[in-house]
Each structure stands twice: as C-alpha cells, then as structure tokens.
C-alpha cells in the first residue's frame, strides 16, 4: 500500500529494521507531531546502503541507455500515479499548499523525463574520437577515444524548501541516476513522510524496470551525524546538497578532509539582486512592484531565488514603485513557514537588518500560527549597503530590502563588491541597455543567470538553464543543478588509447 507510511529507511529494495531512535514529522500549520515515528538510520544501515550502491554501480552504469531512461520514465509516472498521496502528506509537512506542491510534483516528474530524453540522446557523454595514424612521423599516432563516465555512488541531501523538486527524486538524484550513478539519499527531517512516499515510488520503479538492487536507497535521520558519515564514506564519490550556507560549507570541508577528497555541489545562499533602471521605474514602476511582491512572498519567500535586494532609483519614480510595493506587502496575508527553526532564523534575520540600520517600511498582516511570517519591506541607501555588507546577506523568508541609488555608477560599484549570486535581474527600457553594458559586464562575473525583465523565482527546467553561480551562491560555480548540463557534475573524463572493442565502453566502439 503505497500510501501507508512505515517510517523506515529504504536499503535498496529492502526496508531497514526498526532502529534504536525515532523522530516524528510535525504538521507545519499546527505544530502537532504527525504519525508514524521515523526510525533514524544507524551506522549499519548506512554501511549497507552505501555498500549496496557500490556493488550496484558497475552493473547499473553498464546498462543500456534505454534501460536507464525507462527507469527514469517509470519513476516519473509512478510519482504522478501516487501524486495525490504525496502532495497531501507534503502539504501537511511543509504547509506549502496543494497548488504549489502539485506543480512541484509535475515539475519533478518532467525533470525525470527530460533526463530520460537526454540519456537516450547520449550527448552528455561528449564522445570524442581521434583515429590512429600508423604512418605518422616521427612516431605513429595512437587511436584515442574518450567520454564522460559516471563517478560512482552519489549522496543526495534533500532540501527543506523543495520537498519534491530538490529532494529525494529531485534534480541531483535524477541527474546522478541518468548518468549511471547509484544514489543514497538522505531525507530532510522536516518532510520524512513525503520522502518515504517519493522514495518508495523510486524503489517501485527500480523494481519494475529491473534495476540492480542498491541503485537507490533512502536514509532517515533528524541529526547531522548520519549525513556526515555518508559524506565521509569512502565509497561515496560525490555529494549534492541544497540548503543553508553553514550546512553546505560543513559538507564541503568534510569532503575536502577525506583521504580522497570528493566534489560537493552545494547550493547555499543568494540574495538575487534586482536592478531597476530609471526608465523602467518611471514607465512601469507599479507593474515591477507587483511582480516583485509576488516573487518575494511566493512560497513564503522560501526560495534560493528569492529577490532579497532591489536597487531602485532615488526620486519620485522610485518612491512610487516603493509605495506600491509597501502597500501590497501590507495587504499580504501572513503564511506559515516550513519549520519552527526556519521561522526563528527568519525572525533573527529581520532583527539583523534592523540592527544594521535598515528602515522597515511594511509589515504584512500578522498570522495566527506560531510559525507564520509576514512580508517585510526595508529601505536603505546604496551608501549604507556598501558600508554594511551584512545588509546584502540572505534573509530566508518573505523579506526584501529596497536600495535607493542615484547614479548607474553606484550600481556598478555595488555589483563589483557583491558576493556570488544565483541570479541578477535587470529591468530597463530599450534605450537603457547600452548604458547598462558596464553593469551587465560586472554581473556576468557574479551570477549564474542574468535575467532581463523578469523576477528570479521560477527556474525553467530546460536544456540551456544554469542554476548555479559563484561562491557562496554555490560551492562550485562551474556547475548547474538544473538543466541538461546538470548531468556533467556526476561524471569524469576517461580516455582509451588503442583499446580493443571488447574492452571499450559501447558508445566508443
């Protein structure tokens, strides 16, 4: 019965024995514990999951592409078939609402299908062949062929704010499985029930399509030790993580201290600055304000792409934009945050902004739930921002800081000093782009995605997408966690010199 939760880790096709310790999910709206208890995985469970993944790796990596893509497609349809139960549980655990979660489930399934298509196409392998030339002088030229190969078992950490699209069957799991890496997922403790349902959908798809046992496992734990042991395990070859800067940095350091260091792809923090040029503020200030309001309050602001910093011209047009945004924020309803911890951190972030001298312009309506957050709009001058860089630190939740500027040069100077970001957005009139070239030139060095006339929330799952960015937006700014090129992160290059067909990987024969 897919809808009945067991509260136990999935070790390949098997289910873990009950453990010594358990924890419960919490109804995000009421704060009440949800049944059943989840047994925390012990070190023996971890060892078994990783050992099974390591054993499954050669067989899984050697499957025909059509078999791996069938697994991904079956996983997508199984998720959809069980969608109602998954969304219902996720809504209780996260309070994100049925509409958003239904959309996220569809996106998660479609992402699995995109990677299935990419597996079938095979371009990700980047096959290159230099043929031999036995006649070449002074020495014969060898036959050299190369391609990308999977790294091995990958550890994936579920994210609190995307219980589906960046969690158990999310982007990192999909791209790792697509290239031939088994996955050991660590469920986020804030939504273990959702994780179990999704994990069982993946397990069912793995069983139905005959994947090697150990291709996918799912571990539960509400502390840090199990995750740390997972990153330290010698058979784990790469890590995918989406979460806080402190959490990501801790995993990066652990991985670097291993006898054999491994790559960690941690997506950590971003304020996603939005630059409103004077012409745009003048011509479309109200529409931009409305778009920003919708963006920074979407999902209670719990997005890594939340626009946390909006640079608005000083003067009347900027004032009108600000007033519209403030007015909208005051009317907005308080919404329940994902967890009590995230709510506490949000309140701490607001206090930090106030201490740093930001002026609070708007409070959204209060909520009845203990963990409800109201929209907050702040204002500072660009000189204050430059003097106190803490004003540009991410506050995870529905808060945004308006930064008033006078000259385009101030925008360029701020962009030069700012940390790496997932995105930056520009709003401008057609005649402003030429003047904005110096700003865009600086932003290109600081972000993974430059957006014009758009808010940063809403990451299109497409082939060209880059969802990444320089440190500290991510731990490895050369990569992306969304889009076709996400498959590259779990691969390495291998060359074959004069190797006979019997020993060549099939794509090189």
Q: Is 383 exposed, middle or buried (0-12, 13-18, 19+ CB in 10 A)?
A: middle
Nearer to a copy of itself, 309 or 465 (CB): 465
503 binds a copy of itself (CB under 8 A): yes
Among 58, 122, 210, 390, binds a copy of itself (CB under 8 A): 58
b or e along 410-438 (b: 16 or more beta carbons within 10 Å of the residue's beta carbon)?
bbbebbeebbbbbbbbbbbeeeeeeebee
Interface with a copy of itself by CB under 8 A: which range of 304-312, 371-379, 385-393, 428-436? 428-436
Angle, CA of 232, 237 and 238, to the nearest 5°: 90
Q: How far is the CB of 17 from a copy of itself (least distance, A)?
A: 30
Identify residues 121-160 at the interface with a copy of itself (CB under 8 A).
126, 128-130, 139, 141-142, 144-146, 149, 151-152
Asked if 445 touches a copy of itself (CB under 8 A), the answer is yes
- DSSP code of residue 503: G
Kindly identify the residues of this chain, within the stretch 151-210, that bind a copy of itself according to CB under 8 A: 151-152
What sign does the dihedral 164-166-170-171 (CA atoms) show? positive
3-class SS of residue 318: helix
Q: Position of tokens 């050991």?
A: 184
Cα–Cα distance for residue pair 6/249, rounded to 1 Å: 33
Q: Which two tokens stand for residue 9?
A: 């880790």
| Shortest Å distance, C-beta 251 to a copy of itself | 13
Q: Which residue in the set 22, 77, 314, 471 belongs to the binding site for a copy of itself (CB under 8 A)? A: 471
Measure the CA–CA gap between 6 and 134, rounded to whole angstroms.
63
Q: Which stretch binds a copy of itself (CB under 8 A): 170-178, 315-323, 384-392, 437-445?
A: 437-445
499 in contact with a copy of itself (CB under 8 A): yes
406-411, long-range: CB within 8 Å, 24+ apart, which pairs? 406/313, 406/314, 406/382, 408/277, 408/435, 408/436, 408/438, 408/439, 410/382, 411/275, 411/311, 411/382, 411/439
When asked if residue 493 is in the footprint of a copy of itself (CB under 8 A), the reply is yes
Q: Does 98 contact a copy of itself by CB under 8 A?
A: no
- Cα separation of 339 and 222, whole Å? 13
> Is residue 106 a contact partner of residue 76, using CB atoms and an 8 Å limit?
no
Query: Catalytic residue at 267?
Result: yes
- 304 counts as catalytic: yes
Query: Which of 45, 86, 472, 481 is in the footprint of a copy of itself by CB under 8 A?
Result: 472
Of residues 193 and 483, the one with the C-beta less far from a copy of itself: 483
Catalytic residue, candidates 181, 304, 379, 410 = 304
Can you tell me which of 271, 479, 481, 487 binds a copy of itself, judged by CB under 8 A? 479
The least CB distance from residue 467 to a copy of itself, in Å, is: 8
Task: Decide: is 228 part of the binding site for a copy of itself (CB under 8 A).
Answer: no
Taken as a whole, the chain contains a residue count of: 509
Task: State which of positions 247-276 bind a copy of itself (CB under 8 A).
Answer: 252, 256, 260-261, 263
Identify the residue whose tokens are 């995750």.
227
Selected binder of a copy of itself within 35, 368, 502, 506 (CB under 8 A) = 502
- Choosing from 447, 481, 507, 509, the residue that interacts with a copy of itself (CB under 8 A) is 447
Q: Shortest approach of a copy of itself to residue 403 CB, angstroms?
A: 21
Residues 6+ apart with CB under 8 A from 497: 142, 143, 144
- 17 vs 64 by CB, closer to a copy of itself: 64
Binding of a copy of itself by 509 (CB under 8 A)? no
Q: Given the residues 267, 379, 394, 410, select the one marked as catalytic.
A: 267
For the chain, the farthest-separated pair of C-alpha atoms sits apart, in whole angstroms, at 82
- Does 234 bind a copy of itself (CB under 8 A)? Our answer is no
Known catalytic residues? 267, 304
């Amino acid at each position: 019965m897919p809808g009945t939760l067991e509260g136990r880790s999935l070790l390949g096709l098997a289910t873990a024995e009950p453990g010594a310790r358990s924890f419960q999910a919490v109804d995000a709206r009421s704060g009440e514990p949800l049944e059943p208890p989840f047994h925390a995985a012990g070190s023996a469970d971890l060892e078994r999951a990783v050992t099974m993944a390591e054993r499954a790796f050669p067989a899984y990596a050697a499957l025909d592409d059509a078999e791996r893509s069938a697994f991904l497609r079956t996983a997508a349809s199984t998720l959809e078939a069980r969608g109602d139960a998954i969304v219902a549980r996720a809504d209780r655990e996260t309070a994100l609402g049925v509409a958003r979660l239904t959309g996220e489930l569809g996106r998660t399934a479609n992402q699995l299908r995109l990677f299935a298509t990419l597996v079938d196409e095979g371009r990700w392998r980047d096959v290159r062949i230099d043929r031999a030339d036995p006649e070449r002088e002074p020495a014969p030229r060898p036959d050299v062929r190369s391609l990308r190969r999977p790294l091995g078992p990958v550890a994936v950490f579920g994210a609190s704010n995307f219980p589906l699209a960046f969690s158990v069957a999310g982007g990192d799991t999909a791209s790792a499985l697509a290239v031939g890496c088994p996955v050991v997922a660590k469920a986020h403790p804030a939504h273990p029930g959702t994780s179990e349902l999704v994990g069982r959908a993946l397990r069912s798809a793995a069983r139905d399509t005959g994947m090697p046992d150990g291709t996918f496992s799912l571990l539960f734990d509400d502390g840090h030790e199990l995750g740390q042991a997972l990153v330290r395990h010698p058979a784990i070859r790469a890590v995918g993580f989406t979460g806080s800067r402190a959490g990501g940095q801790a995993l990066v350091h652990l991985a670097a201290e291993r006898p054999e260091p491994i790559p960690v792809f941690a997506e950590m923090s971003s304020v996603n600055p939005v630059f409103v040029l004077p012409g745009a503020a003048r011509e479309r200030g109200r529409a931009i304000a409305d778009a920003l309001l919708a963006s920074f309050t979407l999902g209670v602001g719990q997005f890594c792409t939340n626009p946390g910093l909006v640079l608005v011209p000083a003067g009347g047009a900027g004032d009108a934009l600000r007033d519209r945004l403030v007015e909208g924020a005051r009317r907005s309803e308080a919404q329940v945050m994902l967890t009590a911890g995230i709510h506490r951190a949000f309140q701490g972030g607001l206090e930090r902004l106030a201490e740093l001298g930001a002026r609070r312009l708007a409070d959204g309506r209060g909520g009845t739930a203990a963990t409800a957050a109201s929209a907050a709009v702040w204002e500072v001058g660009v000189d204050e921002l430059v003097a106190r860089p803490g004003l540009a630190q991410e506050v995870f939740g529905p808060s945004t800081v308006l930064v008033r500027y006078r000259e385009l040069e101030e925008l360029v100077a701020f962009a030069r000093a700012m940390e790496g970001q997932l995105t930056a957005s520009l709003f401008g009139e057609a005649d402003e782009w030429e003047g904005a070239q110096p700003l865009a030139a600086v932003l290109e060095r600081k972000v993974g995605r430059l957006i014009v006339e758009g808010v940063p929330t809403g990451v299109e799952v497409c082939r060209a997408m880059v969802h990444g960015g320089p440190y500290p937006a991510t731990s490895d700014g050369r990569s992306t966690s969304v889009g076709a090129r996400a498959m590259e992160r779990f691969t390495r290059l291998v060359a074959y010199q004069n190797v006979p067909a019997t020993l060549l990987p099939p794509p090189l024969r």
